[in-house]
Every structure is written in C-alpha cells, then in structure tokens.
Amino acid sequence: MAKLSLFERRRRRVRTALRSRGGDRPRLSVHRTGRHIYAQIIDDAQGRTVAAASTLGAKNSGANVDAAVQVGKDIASAAKKAGVTTVVFDRGGFLFHGRVKALADAAREGGLEF
C-alpha cells in the first residue's frame, strides 16, 4: 500500500470521526481549490445531495474570504428550503482556518446548527 499524503490522512481521520458521532444528520461537505470554494449538504443514508452552493458563476466569484462567506450564506438558505437545520461539518482534509472557517461561520449565522 502506498504511503498516504498528510491531506489524505487528515481527510480520512475527519470522515471516520464524523461517522462515529454524526448519527443520522446530513453532512455539510466543503471543498476548496485555488480558484473556487464549494459546499454541499449530503444525506449519506439516501446517498444524495440535498443542497449545494459554490462560487462557480457567482457574482462574488473567486478564492477569497468574502466569496466563502457568500457561499456559507447560500448553503444555509438552500438547506432551509430543503428542510435541513442540523448538519455535521465535514471539512475534508482542509484545516479549519481562513476560507473554510469563514464558510462555516456564515453557515452558522444563516441558521445551520453544527
């Protein structure tokens, strides 16, 4: 077996912890690239995406904290429309810092509980 990167090790550790204490709540998954940030709420029991938001095609596109805040607000409003109020936060292998933290804080302000 090949040696895993630090990112992959962190991602697996986070996902395993979420499975053990997440229960049946949907998962707010965040993915960050150099140009965009993506968030989606996934119902793992049914295997489908409930709501999604990203900076693709948005007026506030780009890879900055302001764009992440807007995506956090968008995902919170999309979750409300879908009837989701509580989630578990899946940061993947990304550190809870900068854009990921800004997205999480904006989603909390928008009404999501995690």
Of the candidates 43, 74, 41, the one whose C-alpha atom is nearest the C-alpha of residue 57 is: 74
Is the model's pTM score more than 0.85? yes
- The residue with tokens 């900076």 is 55
Please check the confidence at residue 43 and state whether its pLDDT lies above 70: yes
Task: Give mean pLDDT, residues 45-69.
Answer: 89
pLDDT tens digits, 53-62: 999 976 667 7
Show the domains of the chain with their CATH numbers: 6-109 (3.30.420.100)
